Structure 1
């Protein structure tokens, strides 16, 4: 029997309250105090907020909750693994982590990280209003992604099999999916994971080797609801996007985002993504 909207809302309310309790438990473990209104991740899977220690120093505390069968592997440890990346990258550094089980139902992981300056560029992954980062910000983003791309790693964001499966399942077997060039990518570079006015890059769960141009492609696809921002991304990364692998990266990013937004019934975003894919497939 399909739950009603009211039943879904009540379940979400209860889960959010439980996640707040997980955040409080993590704060006790790290001996810090919550110092802001918590923010939730996709489908309430994670919760995070600013915290401070006894000296008043500020940090970021995040708790992610997952079913036990998924609470392992590279995605689970991505933020901590990212501590090995070059120190020049404008990213948080995980100072410590703490895991615990909720019987056999859920597994939690708390991470205490350094706090970056600035605010998210958008409160959503795909903004509808204009964003106006400075030319310095765009240059810093280019340098950051270039440094990341050249950093060797054994982690995998997406291999050829995954890229082909995503693209073909979404757009059909006729769609081009062969990747000619690979690099290290962030993997989820949308506007809510970027800070301004000083560049900062958040959420490193899924970083690893992937198609060259994956990050530029993801940012472009996350801009399809705002033509001005979309043009700005294309202007900044046209040389990356307008390559054979860059076009495959766009199809992969579109397919990956479509899977999520269609689950969430974000119809306007889904329609814009399909229109973007159509230009790639028919161009």
Structure 2
């Protein structure tokens, strides 16, 4: 079955792909599967030989199924000192113009902090959780890699489009970041950071800026994020990272995602621009 434009058919296609991967790895699917952004991925708890793991399948057009992000989860196995899943095995196959990749991973206990990338309800997290998040991102930021999330040329273009030509867009410090640190990629009550497809070099403060912007609908949590990373966010470098992340989220809003986040993002951008002027 080829994926079509029909939402139900595509989910059926992805479930069949998940079943194919489970058969390949000789594991049994458990519970209701979860779908990723725009259903391009599907995942489920699995068991085999008295062990429980997580099985994830991602689909993409063959000409896009390459580069850093395609193998990001596997390459992230080298990262140490960060609570994250470990990829045990990989299986890839083709289906017409579609490339599919299955990754069998260690299972992370707990639950995701939010079913959506943006936070929409209050969240109670321990002080230990917050301190471990800060320590994990500090560890990650110093990791040396050739992988990139964005570059100076793209930052310049985004700033020109969204803020005009009177805003300084030069990135003075680059660090390694997760790249998609939203609330559906964080687990509690014990911290685990999921989805390492796109990690790489980015403007300093990129992850903290991303999580803060995704928290703006719940001011109490947004305040806690800012407090945790205040020494990063409350600097010119941190302001630039936030402004860049805002352009990324506004592009997503333009495609129909989290529309009610547009107002808070624009208001926050105006504050940042006023501070930098």
Q: TM-score range by the shorter chain?
A: over 0.9
Alignment equivalent of 1:49, drawn from 22, 44, 51:
44
Task: Map 1:1-283; keep pairs closer than 5 Å.
Answer: 11-53=6-48, 55-86=49-80, 88-103=81-96, 105-283=97-275
The count of aligned residue pairs is 272
The whole-number CA distance in structure 1 between the counterparts of 2:91 and 2:17 is: 11
> What is the deviation of 1:10?
7.6
Retained in 2: the 8 A contact 1:46–1:65?
yes
Deviating runs (4+, > 3 A) in structure 1? none
The whole-number CA distance in structure 1 between the counterparts of 2:128 and 2:42 is: 31
RMSD: 1.4
Aligned in 2, Cα 1:149/1:229: closer, same or farther, shift over 3 Å? Answer: same
> What is the deviation of 1:267?
1.9
TM-score normalised per structure 2: 0.94
> What is the deviation of 1:260?
1.5
Aligned in 2, Cα 1:116/1:165: closer, same or farther, shift over 3 Å? Answer: same
Q: Secondary structure at the match of 2:99?
A: strand
- Deviations 1:17-63 (CA, angstroms, capped at 9, x unpaired): 1010010011111111111211111111111111111x231111111
- Deviations 1:48-84 (CA, angstroms, capped at 9, x unpaired): 111111x231111111111112100001110011011
The whole-number CA distance in structure 2 between the counterparts of 1:106 and 1:125 is: 26
> What is the deviation of 1:236?
0.8
Unaligned runs of 5+ in 1: 1-8
Aligned position for 1:6? none
The whole-number CA distance in structure 1 between the counterparts of 2:63 and 2:161 is: 24
TM-score normalised per structure 1: 0.93
Retained in 2: the 8 A contact 1:180–1:244?
no
